C-alpha cells in the first residue's frame, strides 16, 4: 500500500484542519503548503482528504460496533464477552491483513501468525472453561437435589416443589 505524500510529510491532519476548520479550498491548501516549501499537488491534497475521511468513517464504524457490542453483552457471562471480543478482534485483524498490498515490516508475518495462534488458543480455552462450568453447574444441581431429598424425605410435597425449582435453575438467569 503506497503512502500518501502528505503522510510522508506528516501533514494529513493539518490538511484536514485547513479544509474543515479554516474552510480552505483544495487549491488554497495546495498554494499555502507550496508557499511553505512542501512539494504537493492538488490531487495529493484531495487524496489526503479522502483518505482522512475514510479513516474517520472507519473509526466511527468501529465506535458504533463497540457500542452495540457493549449493549449486547452487558448482562452475559464473562466467557461470552471474551469470546465475542476474540471473534471481533480476529475479524478486524483479517480485514487489516487482507487490505495490505505488501508488508513493510520484516517480522510482521511472524507476529501476525503468533497473534492468530493466540486468538485460536484463547477460543479453545474459552470453550474448555465453558464446558467445565456447565459440568460443575450440573453437578451442583444434582448435589443440591440429593441434599434436599435427604433432608425432606418426610415432606414429599415440599420436596417435590424444591426439586422442581432446582431442576429449572439456569445459570444464565438475571
Contacts of 40 (CB under 8 A, 6+ apart): 5, 6, 9, 30, 33, 34
Name the domain count of the chain: 2
| Cα radius of gyration (the chain) | 29
* Owning domain of residue 86: 75-174
Residues 88 and 66 in one domain: no
User: Is the CB of residue 40 less than 8 Å from the CB of residue 33?
Assistant: yes
Length of the chain: 174
Last residue of a domain, one of 36, 55, 74: 74
Residues 82 and 167 in one domain: yes
C-alpha cell at 172: 444464565
pLDDT at 164: 92
Residues 52 and 134 in one domain: no
- Dist. CA 158–CA 171, nearest whole Å: 23
Residues 9 and 90 in one domain: no
Residues 24 and 55 in one domain: yes
pLDDT at 142: 92
Residues 86 and 144 in one domain: yes
pLDDT at 90: 74
pLDDT at 49: 81
Contacts of 120 (CB under 8 A, 6+ apart): none
User: Is the CB of residue 170 less than 8 Å from the CB of residue 137?
Assistant: no
pLDDT at 99: 58
- Dist. CA 47–CA 127, nearest whole Å: 45
Residues 57 and 92 in one domain: no
Residues 63 and 85 in one domain: no
pLDDT at 173: 45
Contacts of 55 (CB under 8 A, 6+ apart): none
Residues of the chain with pLDDT under 50: 1, 102-103, 173-174
pLDDT at 81: 67
- Dist. CA 38–CA 25, nearest whole Å: 17
Residues 86 and 66 in one domain: no
Residues 29 and 99 in one domain: no
Residues 57 and 122 in one domain: no
**Does the global pTM surpass 0.75?**
no
C-alpha cell at 63: 465506535
Percent of the chain with pLDDT over 90: 15
pLDDT at 33: 87
pLDDT at 145: 92
Amino acid at each position: 500500500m503506497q503512502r500518501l505524500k502528505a503522510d510522508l510529510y506528516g501533514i494529513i491532519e493539518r490538511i484536514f484542519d485547513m479544509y474543515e476548520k479554516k474552510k480552505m479550498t483544495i487549491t488554497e491548501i495546495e498554494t499555502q503548503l507550496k508557499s511553505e516549501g512542501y512539494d504537493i499537488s492538488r490531487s495529493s491534497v484531495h487524496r489526503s482528504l479522502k483518505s482522512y475521511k475514510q479513516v474517520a468513517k472507519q473509526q466511527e464504524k468501529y465506535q458504533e460496533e463497540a457500542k452495540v457490542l457493549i449493549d449486547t453483552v452487558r448482562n452475559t457471562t464473562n466467557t461470552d464477552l471474551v469470546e465475542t471480543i476474540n471473534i471481533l478482534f480476529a475479524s478486524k485483524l483479517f480485514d487489516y491483513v487482507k487490505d495490505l498490498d505488501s508488508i513493510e515490516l520484516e517480522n510482521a508475518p511472524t507476529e501476525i501468525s503468533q497473534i492468530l495462534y493466540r486468538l485460536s488458543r484463547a477460543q479453545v480455552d474459552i470453550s474448555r472453561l465453558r464446558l467445565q462450568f456447565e459440568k460443575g453447574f450440573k453437578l451442583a444441581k444434582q448435589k443440591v437435589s440429593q441434599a434436599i431429598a435427604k433432608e425432606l424425605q418426610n415432606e414429599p410435597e415440599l420436596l417435590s416443589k424444591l426439586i422442581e425449582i432446582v431442576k429449572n435453575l439456569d445459570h444464565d438467569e438475571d
